[in-house]
């Protein structure tokens, strides 16, 4: 019970160093912790009172969560540790994909009111309705698919094993671009993809950088490098683009979230190692809601933290 | 002309190393994938790194460890002349040595890929069984103790009777490595990713030095 109370107090009363983005000239408002979801009671809203009354641990939501996506007010989180997909909506009980539908779900995006999940072990993309009551494999035979993004209602998947991006339409591959290498437009085990308004940002994991391109594959710019300081990318695990065009990246070596503007200029970093509010252990997927909420999967703490951004800055 | 033949032999040795003797893990017996050079390899898993490391669902954060860990709670460890433990034995293995033992103690299937829902099928036995090269078992008393802390040079931590050099001197060695806590682990003398020094019957697999003597002298002084 003590641990739960500490978490609650941290969330309500305090923010860790690095959480105040407003103190820097970044165009951001402040970044704060909105909520921390570790158990079912945290989501249904009974968490704090229930923990105080009963003590003990409530049913854990996750084992080893990884990727995350918003669909309206609902949040969907993949959990490769339990080989499933979990749907969360404040005030309601969590829902889960049927057993056996997924093996190693490591990427998720919402597109046209549906959810699309990559399963890297099975080499497939699986489509789910928001109630998760059914599932359908829409594409197979992919070489370790990982990152997936919906940009301008077009679906892009990373074939990490082939070091390239593929575009899917109706389950068929309609275009491929990228090859293995270190030059612009080339990739070395790309694992993360996000985008907005005709552009893609790809986390080029083993080149320790992000590449920006048009959705047709024309390279625009490259930024990032390996290192052990904030803003470097030694172990990228999550990537998202906010409404102002800023690029958010989680790093599981640094236990921090770094924010860059769309040109790659490092703006600020959020969080530090630990298990309190605003602290991370192996942060992974990031999903950004237009209302300012940023969901970050805190994988080794087996939880999702919801950050709140006052405003994302001017649209670029 | 006299140097041409030896040079060509040297080049050939570099270009075509003996099986299991590569600088890259791909050409060593630690490559357990279908393309591995050793007797033990997978029947269906083609990825080299995956037997130990996974990017998304590691069992341990560092070093993105993906293989199932051994559940052995207590190993029989070596007797020490001077010991931190009251029973005069080396401590239980910890740190990176536990990772090595997740295959080499023989209790965990080689293809048990931790949190992965699929398991790799292997040639022959699924376990590193007694009698096979690389099998250590749960009795570690016959080998060099691991997970022991090197003295810091002040003399307060003992070790003088073993002729130990100071931790600072050991840490200055380019090949032998102590872990982050200054402990001797399996990885102090073995590099699981490189097997360039192996010589049958003379130098063990994955050894960091060209001779066993050199490894001993990295920590122990001749008296």
Give me the pLDDT at residue B221, please: 85
Instruction: Tell me the pTM.
Output: 0.84
Give me the pLDDT at residue A189, please: 96
Residue A187 in this model has a pLDDT that exceeds 90: yes
- Name chain A contacts of B115, Cβ cutoff 8 Å: 63-64, 80-81
φ, ψ (nearest 5 deg) of residue A248: -105, 135
Question: A274: which residues sit within 8 A by CB, 6+ positions away?
Answer: A16, A255, A280, A281
User: What is the distance of C-alpha A198 from the center of its chain?
Assistant: 20
> Touching check for A191 and chain B: CB below 8 Å?
yes
- Name chain B contacts of A146, Cβ cutoff 8 Å: 56
Give me the pLDDT at residue B154, please: 55
**Residue in A66, A281, A300 nearest the CB of B56:** A66
> Touching check for B117 and chain A: CB below 8 Å?
yes
Kindly determine whether residue B117 and residue A103, on different chains, have CB atoms separated by under 8 Å. Answer: yes
| A126: nearest Cα among A90, A151, A164, A100 | A100
Give me the pLDDT at residue A21, please: 45
Residue A302 in this model has a pLDDT that exceeds 50: yes
Answer with the residue of higher pLDDT: A315 or B168.
B168
């Amino acid at each position: 019970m003590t641990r739960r109370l500490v978490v609650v107090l941290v969330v309500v009363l305090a923010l860790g160093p690095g959480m105040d983005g407003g103190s820097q000239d970044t165009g951001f408002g402040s970044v704060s912790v909105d909520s921390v979801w570790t158990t079912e009671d945290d989501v249904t809203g009974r968490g704090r009172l229930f923990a105080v009354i009963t003590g003990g641990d409530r049913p854990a939501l996750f084992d080893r969560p990884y990727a995350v996506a918003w669909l309206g007010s609902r949040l969907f989180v993949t959990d490769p540790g339990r080989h499933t997909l979990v749907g969360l909506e404040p005030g309601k009980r969590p829902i889960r994909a049927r057993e056996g539908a997924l093996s190693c779900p490591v990427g998720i995006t919402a597109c046209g009111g549906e959810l699309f999940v990559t399963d890297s072990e099975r080499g497939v993309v699986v489509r789910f309705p928001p109630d998760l009551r059914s599932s359908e494999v829409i594409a197979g035979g992919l070489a370790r698919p990982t990152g997936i993004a919906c940009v301008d209602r077009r679906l892009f998947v990373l074939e990490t094993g082939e070091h390239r991006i593929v575009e899917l339409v109706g389950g068929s591959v309609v275009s491929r671009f990228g090859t293995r290498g270190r030059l612009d437009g080339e990739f070395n085990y790309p694992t993360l993809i996000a985008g907005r308004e005709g552009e893609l940002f790809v986390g080029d994991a083993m080149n320790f950088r992000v590449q920006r391109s048009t959705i047709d594959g024309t390279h625009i710019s490259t930024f990032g490098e390996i290192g052990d300081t904030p803003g470097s990318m030694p172990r990228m695990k999550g990537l998202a683009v906010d409404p102002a065009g800023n690029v958010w990246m989680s790093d599981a070596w640094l236990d921090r979230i770094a924010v860059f503007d769309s040109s790659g200029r490092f703006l600020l970093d959020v969080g530090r190692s630990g298990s309190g509010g605003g602290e991370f252990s192996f942060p992974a997927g990031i999903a950004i809601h237009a209302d300012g909420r940023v969901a970050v999967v805190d994988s080794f703490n087996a939880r999702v933290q919801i950050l709140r951004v006052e405003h994302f800055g001017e649209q670029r | 002309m006299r140097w041409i033949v030896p040079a060509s032999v040297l080049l050939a040795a570099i270009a075509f190393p003996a099986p299991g003797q590569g600088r890259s893990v791909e050409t060593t017996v630690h490559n357990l994938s279908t393309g591995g050079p050793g007797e033990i390899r997978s029947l269906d898993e083609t990825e080299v790194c995956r037997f130990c490391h996974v990017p998304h669902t590691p069992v341990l954060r560092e070093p993105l460890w993906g293989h199932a860990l051994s559940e052995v709670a207590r190993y029989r460890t070596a007797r020490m002349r001077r010991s931190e433990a009251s029973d005069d034995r080396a401590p239980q293995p910890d740190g990176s040595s536990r990772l090595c033992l997740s295959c080499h103690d023989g209790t965990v299937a080689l293809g048990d890929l931790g949190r992965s829902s699929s398991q790799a099928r292997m040639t022959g036995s699924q376990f590193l069984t007694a009698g096979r090269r690389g099998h250590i078992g749960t009795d570690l008393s016959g080998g060099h103790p691991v997970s022991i802390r090197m003295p810091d040079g002040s003399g307060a931590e003992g070790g003088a009777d073993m002729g130990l050099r100071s931790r600072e001197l050991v840490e200055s060695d380019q090949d032998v490595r102590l872990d982050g806590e200054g402990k001797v682990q399996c990885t102090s003398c073995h590099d699981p990713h490189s097997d360039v020094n192996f010589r049958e019957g003379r130098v063990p697999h994955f050894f960091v030095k060209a001779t066993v003597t050199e490894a001993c002298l990295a920590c122990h002084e001749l008296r």
